[in-house]
Amino acid sequence: MISRNQSWNQSQWVRLVAGSMVLLSLSLSLMNTNWLFLTAFVGLNLLQSAFTKWCPLIAVLQKLGVRE
Domain boundaries of the chain, sorted by first residue? 10-63
Residue 4: per-residue pLDDT: 66
Cα-based angle 37, 54, 1 (whole degrees, multiple of 5): 90
Residue 6: per-residue pLDDT: 82
* Nearest CA among 66, 12, 15, 65 for reference residue 45: 15
pTM of the entire structure?
0.84
Residue 64: per-residue pLDDT: 95
Which segments of the chain have a pLDDT < 50? Answer: none
Residue 2: per-residue pLDDT: 56
Side chain identity at residue 18, one-letter code = A
Give dist(CA 51, CA 68) in Å, integer: 19
